[in-house]
Amino acid sequence: MSNKYDVIVIGSGPAGYVAAIRAAQLGMNVACIEKWKDKAGKGVNGGTCLNVGCIPSKALLDSSYKYHEAHSNFKNHGISTGKVEIDVPAMIARKDKIVKQMAGGVSGLFKANKVTSLFGTGKLLANRKVQYVNLEGKEEVLEADNVILASGSIPIAIPVAPIDNDVIVDSTGALEFTEVPNRVGVIGAGVIGLELGSVWTRLGSKVVLLEAMETFLAIMDQQIAKEANKIYKKQGLDIRLGCRVTGSKVEVTKKGKEVVVTYTDKEGKEATETFDKLIVCVGRRPFTDGLLAEDSGVKLDERGSIYVNDLCSTSAPGVWAVGDVVRGPMLAHKGSEEGVMVAERIAGQKTVMNYDIVPNVIYTHPEIAAVGRTEEQIKADGEPYNVGTFPFLAIGRAVAADESDGMVKMIAHAETDRILGCHIVGPSAPDLVQQVAIAMEFGSSAEDIGMTVFGHPTYSEAVKEAALAVNGHAIHMPNKKRRK
């Protein structure tokens, strides 16, 4: 093994592996270090996203939704079945198979692009040297012209609910339940909490989400967030806002282990709830533990993220950082695009990334997706704007598919009609919002989308109608008066 490379990447999640592959495509000699191990102790690529994040959670979301459909919704379509049962170990095994397949895919791409895959830990030293310790504990110092830090993030732990990986778990542990708990508590009603809460609600658990903030999904457009909250409550999710957990206690009863959670509600009154499982989902933090030597020259900001400029360059020459470990939303696709940008910048290209058009998605059912600014942000910026909304209830394809909950919201500048944001809760929301992201990248107006021919019947017609509604031209619903 060589100890000198053009580029060394630390971390093979979506930001790291994409950076490594793109750098190799551009003719560089690249090594990528990954510390993740599978259940057998073998090194695997893919980082958190492929192993215990995006991919496995979506596998369980899809499995649980298929069960819910068969158990509760097939009869609406005239389909009769026998008794519908869930085999949780089989569902988890399917999830594990998908994870193995996807992680193996990254390894295959590394091989095809001649990226050297190294399993173990990497620590950045001074002058772009990296201390590499393999899985057997053997240490070696590697050198590179450029180093890309892509070490990702980990769940935030809270003292009032210490993780025991039995009754109290984090988002990783919530992917490994062997049976459906009767009562599930979730601390945090953000993206991860909602997705995991949805999985176990569909499978039959009574789920209570305790959220400290008094505003539901504060990061999202509030009209969409309120619409989503109504849908989730109808599905059985018990979302309690303004609740601060003050303690938890695991007890052994005749029924087995339980966890008693004490919290204060939004009125300041103390209350308790007893659960079979408690999932702690209060957010994630950048993972820099053991990553940086004192003389590495890399600075952290006040949030513990690696400080970078708009091009993801750190305070140390030739050292870059991408993905969850830097500022901005912790989104796999954001990190991937940063990885491409950095690889191309290293190669001498003038690539930049448009951070104003990064889609955000919550994979509940229906899904929530957004791109651009919320109405609240635009109003705070003082820009004149018009809004168009359109419900899926008025879309033939959605009604035929029994997927008519939700709406599309389009916001455009009142004077130029340029699209400023699009926010969707409803069927295929991530794919629909991507259409708008492409339009925004090319500076499109709401009128441009309204004049585009959309297939019929499709969910995407809701996007066209919302765009038409911006200027009071919607066809399939009465138009509201335009803002003055």
Residue 216 CA from chain centroid, whole number: 17
Domain span at 91: 4-155+285-346
Per-residue exposure over 10-41, b if at least 16 CB sit within 10 Å of its own CB, e if not = bbbbbbbbbbbbbbbbbebbbbbbbbbeeeee
**Closest to 174 (Cα-Cα) out of 150, 155, 146:** 155
* Ramachandran category for residue 474: left, alpha or beta (phi over 0 → left; psi -120 to 50 → alpha): beta
**In a shared domain, residues 249 and 183:** yes
Question: The dihedral of CA 151, 155, 160, 161: what is its sign?
Answer: negative
φ, ψ of residue 132 to 5 degrees: the values are: -110, 125
Clarify whether 456 is annotated catalytic. Answer: yes
189 domain residue, yes or no: yes
φ, ψ of residue 295 to 5 degrees: the values are: -100, 20
Contacts of residue 382, Cβ cutoff 8 Å, sequence gap at least 6: none
Are the CB atoms for 45 and 38 separated by under 8 Å? no
**In a shared domain, residues 256 and 380:** no
- Residue-level pLDDT at 480: 79
- Residue-level pLDDT at 100: 95
149 domain residue, yes or no: yes
> End of a domain among 238, 260, 282?
282
- Residue-level pLDDT at 428: 98
Using one digit for the tens of pLDDT, what is the confidence trace for 321-369? 999 999 999 999 999 999 999 999 999 999 999 999 999 999 999 999 9
Reduce the secondary structure of the chain to three states and give it as a string.
CCCEEEEEEECCCHHHHHHHHHHHHCCCCEEEEECCECCCCCECCCHHHHHHCHHHHHHHHHHHHHHHHHHHHHHHHCCCCCCCCCCHHHHHHHHHHHHHHHHHHHHHHHHHCCCEEEEEEEEECHHHEEEEEECCCCEEEEEEEEEEECCCEEECCCCCCCCCCCCEECCCHHHCCCCCCCEEEEECCCHHHHHHHHHHHHCCCEEEEEECCCCCCCCCCHHHHHHHHHHHHHHCCEEEECCEEEEEEEEEECCEEEEEEEEECCCCCEEEEEECEEEECCCEEECCCCCECCCCCCCECCCCCECCCCCCECCCCCEEECHHHCCCCCCHHHHHHHHHHHHHHHCCCCCCCCCCCCCEEECCCCEEEEEECCHHHHHHHCCCEEEEEEEHHHCHHHHHCCCCCCEEEEEEECCCCEEEEEEEEECCHHHHHHHHHHHHHCCCEHHHHHCCCCCCCCCCHHHHHHHHHHCCCCCCCCCCCCCC
Are the CB atoms for 52 and 136 separated by under 8 Å? no
Q: Which residue has the tokens 């009142």?
A: 414
400 domain residue, yes or no: yes
What would the mean pLDDT of 160-176 be, rounded to a whole number? 96
- Residue-level pLDDT at 254: 73
What would the mean pLDDT of 310-327 be, rounded to a whole number? 98
**In a shared domain, residues 75 and 127:** yes
What would the mean pLDDT of 461-473 be, rounded to a whole number? 97
Mean of all residue pLDDT scores within the chain: 96
Reported confidence tier of residue 1, pLDDT bands at 50, 70, 90: low
What would the mean pLDDT of 410-439 be, rounded to a whole number? 98
**In a shared domain, residues 17 and 132:** yes
351 domain residue, yes or no: no
| CATH, residue 442 | 3.30.390.30
What would the mean pLDDT of 411-422 be, rounded to a whole number? 98
161 domain residue, yes or no: no
Using one digit for the tens of pLDDT, what is the confidence trace for 234-262? 999 999 999 999 999 998 887 789 999 99
**In a shared domain, residues 143 and 18:** yes
pLDDT more than 90, % of the chain: 96
Looking at the structure of the chain, the number of domains it has is 3
Using one digit for the tens of pLDDT, what is the confidence trace for 86-98? 999 999 999 999 9
What would the mean pLDDT of 439-455 be, rounded to a whole number? 98
**How far is 320 from 311, CA to CA, in rounded Å?**
9
Using one digit for the tens of pLDDT, what is the confidence trace for 29-87? 999 999 999 988 999 999 999 999 999 999 999 999 999 999 999 999 999 988 999 99
**Angle between the N-to-C axes of helices 222-235 and 191-202, in degrees from 0 to 180, rounded to the nearest 10:** 20
**In a shared domain, residues 52 and 178:** no
> End of a domain among 282, 298, 331?
282
Q: How many residues does the chain have?
A: 484
**How far is 361 from 430, CA to CA, in rounded Å?**
6
Reported confidence tier of residue 484, pLDDT bands at 50, 70, 90: very low
| pLDDT at residue 382 tops 60 | yes
289 domain residue, yes or no: yes
Residue 127: count of CB within 10 angstroms of its CB: 14
**In a shared domain, residues 107 and 232:** no
**In a shared domain, residues 258 and 334:** no
- Residue-level pLDDT at 435: 97
Question: The dihedral of CA 164, 166, 168, 169: what is its sign?
Answer: positive
What would the mean pLDDT of 134-157 be, rounded to a whole number? 97
Query: Tokens at residue 242, please?
Result: 């303004």
> End of a domain among 282, 298, 328?
282
Reported confidence tier of residue 132, pLDDT bands at 50, 70, 90: very high
**In a shared domain, residues 298 and 439:** no
**In a shared domain, residues 262 and 301:** no
Are the CB atoms for 353 and 337 separated by under 8 Å? yes
**How far is 9 from 148, CA to CA, in rounded Å?**
5
358 domain residue, yes or no: no
Residue type, 44: V
**In a shared domain, residues 73 and 195:** no
**In a shared domain, residues 224 and 95:** no
**How far is 350 from 424, CA to CA, in rounded Å?**
33
Reported confidence tier of residue 482, pLDDT bands at 50, 70, 90: low
423 domain residue, yes or no: yes
- Residue-level pLDDT at 252: 85
Q: Which residues pair with 360 in a beta bridge?
A: 370
Kindly name the residue from 71, 413, 456, 476 that is annotated as catalytic.
Answer: 456
- Residue-level pLDDT at 25: 98
| CATH, residue 304 | 3.50.50.60
